[in-house]
Homo-oligomer: A and B are copies of this chain.
Amino acid sequence: MEASAPTNDGLFGLNRRTILPEPLMLDGGTVLDQVEIAYETYGTLNADRSNAVLVCHATSGDQFVASRHPITGKPGWWSRSVGPGKPIDTDRHFVVCANVLGSCMGTTGPASLASDSQPYALRFPVITIRDMVRAQMGLLDLLGIERLHAVVGGSMGGMQALSLAAFWPGRVDRVMVIAATAAMPAQNIAFQEVGRQAIMADPNWQGGNYYGTGAAPDAGLAVARMAAHITYLSEESMHEKFGRRLQDRASKTFGFDADFQVESYLRHQGASFTGRFDANSYLYITKAMSYFDLTEEHGGRLADVFAGTKSRFCLVSFDSDWLYPTRESRKIAHALNAAGAPVSFVELSAPYGHDSFLLDVPELDRVIAGFVG
């Protein structure tokens, strides 16, 4: 069951899906059968299948990297970076982006039906970042892509890129890691835990068994998203964007309405997220991130993880990113240096905080274009 090489579909995704022929052996010890992968592709795979670029998405992202989102109708989340003539040039590269395992946009996750035709819910196994990559390796097998020209990802996408390079070192030439870490810091685990607790505190969560009940833990998921969203922005960008400006009113109401623009904005971010994301997926994906530590099988020695790697690496951080700050990227750069791997590392100046990798940062475009080639 090999998928044929598809052609660029422009703004309108093809909504491709496939089922992995082999069961997935997961890090947690369980085996997941009949894993479905939803993915998008752009550009054309060349004759020797050497021009494939895997783009890995972040926590709440999806496969619609450069296609209109089927629910929100918005352009792809990285359409500024992926497309004809763009930094990841689909005129020359065959770009693949798959919805991660555990998510909710078509790839198997907690909302998917198990073999008893009921949703997995919390019967879905807790997964790791490596399990997400494992599923994508299965997809590449199906697409006949033995070796990637490049893997590129920001945030959780960068962690997948690192995991791919670490555990499937023969399958990628160039590894681009943006605003990520090799081991989740305690503060980030803490924020992730707050999000999970917000969801699980919502009575509509019902122990995860809310599918088909007509109720979902939207309130809890919205709070989780609001808290996370603050961490994606810099203090400076929030100040610039909102300051203490009031929302559609001349003075404070002395009530619990959203007086300030920043309150209104956050409420909107929370509420709109619930329309496109599954709360259980949020639990599984954030747990995979909390678990992420590339060094745990190497006694904490990151250089050992990459010993003997043949890949080239490019690391990018942003000076305003306090969620995955520059020191996290620097640790990876030092380890790769120690492992003798070719690595370039740049801290870019951009005001938007962690979200800078998704926003208008022309210097990032140049770095991506230069590295992916």
Contacts and interface: CB of A to CB of B under 8 A. Distances in A.
Interface string A169-192: 000000000000001111101110
A33 interface: no
A263 B190 contact: yes
A238 B200 CA distance: 24
A220 interface: yes
A92 to B, nearest CB: 40
A262 to B, nearest CB: 5
State the oligomeric state as a number of copies. 2
Interface residues of A, number: 56
A125 B255 CA distance: 8
Contacts of A293: 244
A226 interface: yes
B244 A184 contact: yes
A265 to B, nearest CB: 8
Contacts of A126: 254-256
Interface stretch (A2-10, A283-291, A309-317): A283-291
Interface of A: 27-29, 122, 125-126, 183-187, 189-191, 193-194, 196-198, 200-203, 219-220, 222-223, 226-227, 230, 233, 235, 238-239, 241-244, 252, 254-256, 258-260, 262-263, 266-267, 270, 283, 287, 290-291, 293, 322
